[in-house]
Amino acid sequence: MKLGGRALKLFLGIAIVAFGLIRYCGSQEENPYTGRTQAISLSTEEEIAIGLQNAPIMADQHGGMHPDQQLQDFVAQVGKKLVDHTIAQETPYQYEFHLLRDPKTVNAFALPGGQIFITYALMERLENEDQLAGVLGHEIGHVVGRHAAERIAQSELANTVATGAEVGADAGMLASQLGQTLLLKNGRGDELESDALGVKFMLEAGYNPEAMIEVMQILKAASGGQRVPEFQSSHPDPENRIQKIKEAIEKYQNN
């Protein structure tokens, strides 16, 4: 019996999608620091290397490092305090905290492996050390939660699924929908997990966790109806985030 061209294509398409799914499911592991199971295709060494490689590129996009060494030291000192008092210290990551010169973009972000950045535009809007700890705690949360590595594994799956869909043509619709649903669902989770981890780290390092709520309000005011890139562009709406932060404070304060 000979397979028709169309049937063969469909079979190949399904095989490619199945391969992608098996590889993705096979890369599931429990994050020892958050307890959450996630698909990861990078080693921690690769995460650190990617972060170090991209740090100068990210800095360039924000006008380079801020020249005020005292402010740089302050950011580094608050970051170190958060790391030293929390589970972040037990991770293999090398945390470094940088103040970027950018006076316009209100933002903070983390690269995989521990490179963490805050722009001067956000820094100058903060009113106290606790709020800075809130921003940095949230970013440490992205590193400990391995969110970038998780996204990379997801986009690998999405690419494989898309290839399978192209080859198989007929099975395409279902496959590409599956990939998109997976990617959408996770952007929201990243921000909420980082908020909760940030609150936990703040409490452990002796900071006032209520300052995380103030940070949300500062970001909301700063955006003035416009989008703020990383910190707030996340899909959960600010009110929902504040509600979840309150729940996290309740949860971790009594532990």
Stretch that binds Zn ion, among 51-59, 129-137, 189-197, 236-244 (CB under 5 A): 189-197
Closest CA to 196 of 86, 93, 70: 86
As measured in angstroms, the least distance from the Cβ of 190 to Zn ion is 6
Residue closer to Zn ion by CB (options 20, 51) is: 51
Stretch that binds Zn ion, among 25-33, 72-80, 114-122, 190-198 (CB under 5 A): 190-198
In terms of DSSP bridges, do strands 96-100 and 115-119 run parallel, antiparallel, or are they unpaired?
Answer: parallel
Element (H, E) at 87: none
Residue closer to Zn ion by CB (options 130, 191) is: 191
Residue closer to Zn ion by CB (options 38, 194) is: 194
Residue with tokens 């100068």: 56
| Number of chain residues interacting with Zn ion (CB under 5 A) | 2
Burial 184-201 (b: 16+ CB within 10 A, else e): eebeebbbbbbbbbbbbb
| Region 164-183 residues binding Zn ion, contact defined as CB under 5 A | none
| Region 136-165 residues binding Zn ion, contact defined as CB under 5 A | none
CA gap 3, 31 in Å, rounded: 45
**Phi/psi-derived region of residue 227, left when phi > 0, alpha when psi is between -120 and 50, beta in every other case:** beta
CA distances for 95 relative to 82, 89, 98, 226, 242, angstroms = 10, 9, 10, 31, 27
Stretch that binds Zn ion, among 75-83, 111-119, 123-131, 193-201 (CB under 5 A): 193-201
Stretch that binds Zn ion, among 90-98, 119-127, 159-167, 184-192 (CB under 5 A): 184-192
As measured in angstroms, the least distance from the Cβ of 109 to Zn ion is 7
Residue numbers of the site for Zn ion (CB under 5 A)?
Answer: 191, 194
